[in-house]
Chain A
Amino acid sequence: MGNRMWSMGGEGGRDFESSVLPHLDAAYNLARWLMRDPTDADDILQEAVLRALTYYSSFRGDNARGWLLQIVRNTAYASMKLGRTLRTVPLATGDDATAAMPEPSDPGDDPERALLKARAHESVDRLLATLPAELREAIVLRELEELSYKEIAQITQAPIGTVMSRLWRARQLLAEAAQREAVP
């Protein structure tokens, strides 16, 4: 699972508890923002840690956080993909109204612009929860986790240029709400 990519020398011989478990909060935060549901995030984290345990013996890198976040991300995407195949009805609870995607307000608009229009009155955090997953993960890893472009690129398995444009698009979509809130 991408072990070679995280191989930057060093950190050999440390055990799982001391090298991986300190990054549990980062892993949970990403799982929570990707899944948008506490129970789903629990499940993803549990499975990701299980995967990490399974593959830890072959992990030779020194960036255990990035390695764990990549596993969380892959686990979450696999789950979302499976969910799309299995679920015919979205599991939306009252608290989870943000999970529903807005109807495009204008067929001529691109989807992101449509989303922006539909969510014109949402607060920044609720708006963030409605962003497409690849924009959401980029902004969460950058702004909440304060990772570098290179780390985000590795975790999300995308070129750095793609990370930059995803961040830019995510921030554009959030900018209007941020401005609205900055002006009382």
Chain B
Amino acid sequence: MIRSHDPGECEMTLLVQADFDGELDAAQAAALAAHRAECSICRAASESLERVRHALLEQAPYHRTPAALRARLAAQAGRPRAASAWAANWRRAAASFVAGGAIAAAVMLAIVPRGAPGLADQVFAGHLRALEPGHLEDVVSTDQHTVKPWFDGKLDFAPPVKNLAAEGFPLLGGRLDYLAGRRVAAMVYGRAKHVIDLYAWPEPGANAAPTVLERDGYTLIRWRQNGMALWAVSDVERSGLEDFVRRWHTAP
């Protein structure tokens, strides 16, 4: 069963290695020790294994997670909690909003997407988080034929990647995000100096017309098209985002 790497070497060398790695039981180890006493190849193999281990321990660095990355990942792991803290802030803000202008608040509540109360918060939070330096795109490309394959193997669905450069919304890249308890595709588009995030994930159901939600200068438009939930969020003016959605909707 065990073959040595090189013809001419002792066929027991892999057992010498297993012994060295603590993988043999006492009986096997004893049998091997008896063999090694008579086999110079196996004795040399033992010494060589020891030298390699020593050299690796001396020289091969064990790379520990950089602090900044660790902090980012810990925050990512705690994201559901962070998102609900965000939502609580929003509830507080909405409450004062009601005190200040009941009509406006009523309008806002009316356009909160049904059935997904926390999701809009998460999408806003995801968009804001992505605007932090270096977080915007995981793959930077203005070509949908680069962005599309980048998503392959990272997602269990194929997001609809379209380039709207000719319409004034160039594709800047793509990114993975985590929303509604699943991984989603985030496509990043530019509009002058603004950024539009378009989130996409599969959602069964008939096509649904766009609904709009506005908050603190950010606009979110969501709709359903060809079995895909699509949420566009940006700080461009509302008419600009509506224009984007219209053009994206009809683009091939």
Chain A residues proximal to chain B, CB less than 8 Å: 16-17, 20-21, 24-25, 27-29, 32-33, 38, 41-43, 45-47, 49-51, 53-54, 78, 82, 85-86, 123-125, 128, 139-140, 142-144, 148-149, 161, 164-165, 167-169, 171-172, 174-175, 177-179, 181-182
Known: A143-B57, A181-B55. A25 touches B77 (CB 8 A): no
Is B149 interfacial (CB-CB < 8 Å)?
yes
A45 vs chain B, min Cβ distance (A): 7
A85–B43 Cα distance when bound, in Å, is 45
CA of A99 to CA of B138, assembled, Å: 22
| Distance A174 CA – B52 CA, assembled complex (angstroms) | 6
User: Nearest-CB distance from B159 to chain A (Å)?
Assistant: 16
Please determine whether A42 and B69 come into contact, CB atoms closer than 8 angstroms.
yes
Contact of B64 among A29, A54, A172 (CB under 8 A): A29
What are 26 residue pairs bridging A and B, where the CB atoms are less than 8 Å apart in the complex? Answer: A17-B78, A20-B77, A24-B73, A25-B65, A28-B64, A33-B63, A38-B66, A41-B63, A46-B72, A47-B154, A47-B176, A49-B77, A50-B178, A50-B183, A53-B178, A54-B178, A78-B153, A82-B152, A144-B56, A165-B3, A168-B14, A171-B52, A177-B55, A178-B55, A179-B48, A182-B54
Task: Beyond the given A41-B63, A125-B56, A148-B21, please list 14 additional residue pairs across the A-B interface where CB-CB is below 8 A.
Answer: A28-B69, A43-B138, A50-B183, A51-B183, A54-B183, A82-B149, A82-B152, A124-B59, A142-B21, A149-B21, A161-B2, A172-B5, A175-B52, A181-B55
Task: Flag whether B246 is at the interface (Cβ < 8 A).
Answer: no
Listed in ascending order, the chain B residues whose CB lies under 8 Å from chain A are 1-3, 5, 13-14, 17-18, 21, 23, 48-49, 51-66, 69-70, 72-74, 76-79, 138, 146, 149-150, 152-154, 176, 178, 182-183
Contact yes or no, B56 A124, CB < 8 A: yes
State the 4 A-B residue pairs at the shortest beta-carbon distance, nearest first. A178-B55, A32-B63, A28-B65, A124-B55
- Residue of A27, A45, A178 with most chain B CB atoms under a 10 A cut-off: A178
Highest count of chain B CB atoms <10 Å: which of A28, A82, A168 = A168
Q: Is the CB of A46 within 8 A of B69?
A: yes
The CA of A82 and the CA of B147, in the complex, are separated in Å by 12
Chain A residue contacts of B183, Cβ below 8 A = 50-51, 54
Contact B73 A49 (CB under 8 A): yes
Q: Which of B17, B63, B146, B154 sits near A78, CB closer than 8 Å?
A: B154
Q: Min CB distance, A58 to chain B, in Å?
A: 12
Secondary structure of the B side of the interface?
Answer: helix
Q: Which residues of B are found within 8 Å of A85, using beta-carbon distances?
A: 149
**Are B146 and A86 in contact, with the CB atoms below 8 A?**
yes
**Bound Cα distance from A27 to B176, whole angstroms:** 20
Give the complex CA separation of A128 and B119 in angstroms. 46
Kindly report which residue of chain A lies nearest to residue B177, judged by CB atoms.
A50
Complex contact B73–A178 (CB within 8 A): no
Residues of B within 8 A of A32 (CB): 63
Q: A165 and B60: CB pair below 8 A? A: no
Which of A29, A82, A171 is most buried by chain B, counting CB atoms within 10 A of its CB?
A: A171
Is the Cβ of A50 less than 8 Å from the Cβ of B65?
Answer: no
Complex CA–CA separation, A33 to B60 (angstroms)? 10
Which residues on the B side are within 8 Å of A45 (C-beta)?
Answer: 65, 69, 73
